[in-house]
Each structure stands twice: as C-alpha cells, then as structure tokens.
A = this chain, B = another copy of it.
Amino acid sequence: MQVNLAQHIQKYITLSDHEIHRLSEFTETIHLKKKAWVLQENSVCHHWYFVEKGCLRMFFINSKGVEQITQFALEGWWITDFNSFLNKVPSAYAIQTIEASTIVSIHQKVLEQMLAELPGLEKYFRLVLQKAVAASQHRAKLSYEMSKEEFFLHFSTSFPDFMQRVPQYMIASYLGLTPEYLSELRKKFS
C-alpha cells in the first residue's frame, strides 16, 4: 500500500499548501527496481530515506563474509545509518531494495535547511524518532528474553504479511537463524 510522505506527515502535524510544496522541493522521489542499491557499503550515508512503496533491507557483511540484515523498512518507515548520516563517516552498512520501490530521499544538509525554513516539521521528526526508539527498545528486550524459536514465533505472529512478502533467507538473517532452521520452524508451526 503506497504511503505518500506529505500524507504521512499530516497524521502527526498540520501542513500548509506552501509547506507541502516546499517539502517536495527539498526532497527527491526515486523509483527503484528490485535489488537496487540505495546505499553501498563504505560510502557515507548522506541521506535519510522514507519508503513510499516497496521494501528495503539494511545489512552489513559480517566477519564470515555473510550478509547480516539488521533492519527492514516497509511503507511509512524511515531508514538510514545514523552514525554515518550524523558523523559523515563511511557506512558499515548497505541498503538495498527487496522489491521495486518508491523512496523519498533527503540529504542531511538539506534536512537541516528545510527544518530551519519550516520549523513546524521538527515535531514530526521528533515524534517519528520517539517511535523508532520505542521499537528498538522493544526489539532489544525481545533479544534478551526470547529464544530464537520464540523470536521467530513472535515475529511471524506479529507480522504475517511481512513473512509472506520477504524471502525466507532474509528473515532468517534478521532473526539470527540459519535458513535451514527457519524452514524447520515454519514447518513445525504452520
């Protein structure tokens, strides 16, 4: 389901027509094919990305040379490597589309310019970030208290559509399972 950025912002704050117009000038809407690179490893991640349509994954290459997925972003979610974004250092991550996607991109400098000109938008980003911290606290708690099997069950119950949409090996990577073990779990609990 497509989520328009301006409409998403208006769930949180009121935007004037002028603000909606300026928002479209400060941001760039990009249409990407499946498996397109949004961020390459070792590049500085200058942009913050909002997913209007499709699905992204963020991953790094671990010491065994294997892709380790740490985050997904679906419609209505923002994603970036904040360490790279804030400190202008090369990113340890890559970001890639899983499906054909439409994303809205904003450069870090342009974000600050936009918020200086349209300070009413600060509240939107503060509220979005509060939710992001809530989600990361929740995930950290799960990782402390759940076995991998329990984590899988929780994940598949909480996000059934997502389980259908994303390749099984990517879910396995995110959950820290081997694809074989995930396949066993899916059979066991299906």
* Chain A residues in the interface with B (C-beta under 8 A): 60, 62-63, 68, 70-71, 81-83, 85-86, 92, 115, 119-120, 122-123, 125-126, 129-134, 136-141, 143-145, 176
9 A–B contacts from the bound complex (CB under 8 Å): A60-B145, A82-B134, A83-B134, A83-B137, A85-B134, A129-B133, A132-B133, A136-B140, A140-B140
Whether B137 and A126, one on each chain, are in contact in the complex, defined by CB atoms closer than 8 angstroms, is: no
Q: How far is the CA of A136 from the CA of B81 in the complex (A)?
A: 11
Q: How far is the CA of A171 from the CA of B70 in the complex (A)?
A: 24
Complex copy number for this chain: 2
Chain A contact surface mostly: helix
Q: How far is the CA of A176 from the CA of B144 in the complex (A)?
A: 8
Whether A144 and B83, one on each chain, are in contact in the complex, defined by CB atoms closer than 8 angstroms, is: no
Whether A145 and B62, one on each chain, are in contact in the complex, defined by CB atoms closer than 8 angstroms, is: yes
Query: Most chain-B CB neighbours within 10 Å: which of A68, A81, A122, A123?
Result: A122
Partner of A60, one of B85, B126, B141: B141
Whether A139 and B141, one on each chain, are in contact in the complex, defined by CB atoms closer than 8 angstroms, is: no
Whether A70 and B122, one on each chain, are in contact in the complex, defined by CB atoms closer than 8 angstroms, is: no
